[in-house]
Copies of this chain bind each other. A is one copy, B any other.
Amino acid sequence: MAGRAAVPEVIWARPERTGRGPKPAFTRADIAAAAVRIADAEGLDGVTMRHVAAELGCGTMSLYNYVPRKEDLYELMIDAIGAEHEMFEPTGDWRADMLRNAEETRAIMHRHTWAPRLMAGVFGFSPNTLRYLEHCLACLEPLDVPAGTKTELVALLNGVVTTYTGNAIATAERARSMPWSAEEENAVRMAYLGGQIATGAYPRLAAAFMEQSGPVDLEAVFRRALERVLDAFDPELR
């Protein structure tokens, strides 16, 4: 009975150990840690079943005892970095707390640049994701809106963080497997953009580019976006 299940399966629902047979050599945490280590060092494309198995020191196919599909390995990775969230005691200032949560998410993603790409595609109700969601709801206790609105706030804020951080990181991550640097690629793209603007086909876009002096401060743009999202949920501002 080695076949793969013909029915959907959530890896978190399957018990890590079922009393029978030899003791497993690794825990899920071991496997997740190995995969994260590789992704950090070599990028997400370095995370192959063979490579993770080698990192653990076991045969490739042994991995499939723990992880039925590669996608589940990704879920393990997301859950693993979810543990890096600090889950601090809420201060009573929901805005400040949520801002802190968002900044922390961003920091985690910068530590693990492959995270945005993964999070965009996975539904993700892993244990640590749930704990983080619960933590956010705790921070939002002082906010006087329906619970449903609070989850919408968390979702929207997370989405914005992922999008912004993901975009900021995407070029760097992609450049990893290329024979050129992220700066070089960026320069080429900007040169092309400049050329297009110079054609006069995009007057308003041109004006927007002329307006700014010096390079864009992505950090500030990100922070402004967060503030705006929080504004949109603040009853005192409406």
Interface residues of A (CB under 8 A from B): 6-10, 12-13, 71, 116-117, 120-123, 125, 127, 130-131, 133-134, 137-138, 141, 146-148, 150-152, 156, 159-160, 162-164, 166-167, 170-171, 174, 178-180, 184-185, 187-189, 192-193, 195-196, 201-205, 207-208, 211-212, 221, 224-225, 228-229, 231-233, 237-238
List 17 other contacts, CB 8 Å, given A10-B192, A121-B166, A137-B205.
A7-B184, A8-B180, A8-B184, A8-B185, A10-B188, A117-B121, A123-B170, A125-B193, A127-B196, A134-B202, A137-B204, A137-B208, A147-B211, A150-B208, A152-B221, A159-B163, A228-B232
- Would you give the shortest CB distance from A77 to chain B, in whole angstroms? 17
Which residues of chain B are near A7, meaning CB under 8 Å? 180, 184, 188
Which residues of chain B are near A156, meaning CB under 8 Å? 160, 225, 228
Which residues of chain B are near A193, meaning CB under 8 Å? 125
Provide the bound-state CA to CA distance between A188 and B150, in Å.
25
Q: Find the residue from A8, A138, A225 having the highest chain B CB count within 10 A.
A: A8
Which residues of chain B are near A147, meaning CB under 8 Å? 204, 207-208, 211
- Would you give the shortest CB distance from A150 to chain B, in whole angstroms? 7
A121/B170 contact (C-beta < 8 A), A178-B8, A212-B148 known: yes
* Minimal Cβ-Cβ distance residue in B for A12: B192
- Would you give the shortest CB distance from A163 to chain B, in whole angstroms? 4
A208 touches B125 (CB 8 A): no
A166 touches B208 (CB 8 A): no
* Minimal Cβ-Cβ distance residue in B for A228: B232
* Minimal Cβ-Cβ distance residue in B for A133: B205
B13 touches A192 (CB 8 A): yes
A148 touches B117 (CB 8 A): no
A120 touches B123 (CB 8 A): no
- Would you give the shortest CB distance from A208 to chain B, in whole angstroms? 4
Provide the bound-state CA to CA distance between A207 and B152, in Å.
14
- Would you give the shortest CB distance from A146 to chain B, in whole angstroms? 7
A188/B8 contact (C-beta < 8 A), A123-B170, A134-B204 known: yes
Which of B146, B179, B189, B208 contacts A211, CB < 8 Å?
B146
Of the A-B pairs whose beta carbons lie under 8 Å apart in the complex, a sample of 10, sorted by A's number, is A7-B184, A8-B185, A8-B188, A9-B188, A10-B188, A117-B120, A121-B170, A147-B208, A159-B163, A231-B232
